[in-house]
Amino acid sequence: MTSERKRATNQQNAQRSTGPRSVAGKKTSRQNALQHGLSARLGKNPEQDQRVQGLAQIIAGPEAGASELHYARIAADATLQITRIRDLRASLMQPAAREREVFSWSFPKRVHWQRRYRSKWLTVGAIVKGALQNQDQDGRTVSASDLAAPLERFPPCPSGPEANVEIFSRFIGQVLKLDGYERRQLSRRKAALRALDALRALLS
Amino acid sequence: MSVKTHTRPEGPETERDQTALRPLPGLPEEVAQYIGDRPILRGEDPRVYDALFSQIAAFVAAADQIEWIWTKDIVDAVWEARRARRMRDQVLELGRSRAMKRVVENLLQDKRATTEFNKDVSKVVSSWMGPGGEAKMAEFLAQYGLDPSAIAAETFLNRAQVYEQADRMAANADKRRDGLLREIERRRAWRAQHFRDAANIVDAEAEDVTAERPRSGSLQISDKSPNDKRTKARD
């Protein structure tokens, strides 16, 4: 149990930690909770605000009043977020962007393989060197098939549909997480558009 | 020393590239500037996407900008579901050679210690890839009391998680598509009902105005039908 003395000290210390005081500090700390922004409101970003406003005007129509624009803005914000989520999903699955990451030397299987064989007598450098000199690190003569055997354990670097599937398999977990964010934005937009229609009906 | 440089030709090269730069067929320009991008990956054909878009747009027949936004979402959902299903099937197809290798490795375990082990496994598996491979595979597996379904089972076992995730992804996209179609249907039905109600109100008000008109002259000719229940009730 916390002692009275400790509690008093904690309260005293907490009085001193009241967060940033400068404008710049407050501006920075405002972003602390922001991770990926997929649940955030785009309209709060000045750059995106113009796009949200433009699309809201299209949704509400040229003669819309302030109330109609309010709901149209929510619908526009959600629509642009949905587009963003969809782009993100495509880029996660984009082979062109992911090939280097998946099939580079940092590919876990290769690292595992290297670690396993480094302790014995092989590293990639040693394979090449041995192949050139026809002998291993201890100077024993080795045949090409001896060198090739462990190399066969390397997963061949796939290309074409094989690469696409490999990338798909690797990132599908992350891609699936995006579905939840999209569902939330779709629901938000649906509610806003229903409210907009109801308001229009009331006004007409 | 000469340095080999690759110069990227400026502008689109193929018809496929040109299609990707064109706006989506039928989508109003003012909407297209916000949501007009095609969510396609490298290797996917934008012409196929455009054809799908045209078909679905003709089916939905969007009445206003909101319905155009929904139409685009429906096309994207259909496209993503197709992609997920294609990948799901390929996951199994491309996992087959790895599964063959694994099954053979397990069956030839007694030879694992030999240096020729990997060669032997590769030799067996590559012989199954060529013409008549299926028969060779069945013959080899029969020696160990197995049949080709062992390979299918091994493939599925290795890729079950990805297969299930791809399936879920396709199902999610289908749900989104169905939800959007339902929303279009609901909105149209709601609007139609609203217009009907509005028309009834206008009719009723017009009748009220006629009924309240001050009577002048001796002869009054009513334009109301004697069978009109609503008018009768009011009278």
How far apart CA A89 and CA B83 sit, in angstroms, is 12
Q: Which residues of A touch B34 (CB under 8 A)?
A: 51, 54-55, 58, 79-80, 83
Domain boundaries, chain A: 40-103+177-204
Cα angle, residue A144 at apex, residues A140 and A148 outer, rounded to 5°:
110
3-state secondary structure A90-122: HHHCCHHHHHHHHHCCCCHHHHHHHHHHHCCCC
CB contact under 8 A, A145 and B87: no
Contact B25, B50 (CB under 8 A): yes
3-state secondary structure of A197: helix
Q: pLDDT over 90 for what percent of chain B?
A: 28
d(CA A91, CA A84): 10
Query: pTM (2 decimals)?
Result: 0.69
Give the Cα separation of A193 and A127 in Å (integer): 65
Contact B56, B71 (CB under 8 A): yes
Per-residue pLDDT reduced to its tens digit, A85-104: 998 888 888 776 677 666 66
Interchain CB contact of B115 with A (< 8 Å): yes
Mutate to test the interface with A, among B31, B66, B80 (most CBs of A within 10 A): B66
CA distance A174 to A89: 9
Interface check A68 vs B, CB under 8 A: no
**Chain-chain contact of B162 with A176 (C-beta, under 8 angstroms):** no
Sequence letter at residue A1: M
Residue B2 pLDDT > 70:
no
Q: Judge whether residue A188 has pLDDT over 90.
A: yes
Q: What is the pLDDT of residues B133-176, one digit of tens each?
A: 888 888 888 888 888 888 889 888 888 888 999 999 999 999 99
B-chain CB neighbours of A56 within 8 Å are none
Integer Cα distance of B216 and B213 in angstroms:
9
Contact A90, B40 (CB under 8 A): yes
What is the pLDDT, as a whole number, of residue A19?
Answer: 84
pLDDT at position B198 is 79
Which of A50, A79, A99, A117 is most worth mutating to test chain B (most B CB atoms within 10 A of its CB)?
A: A79
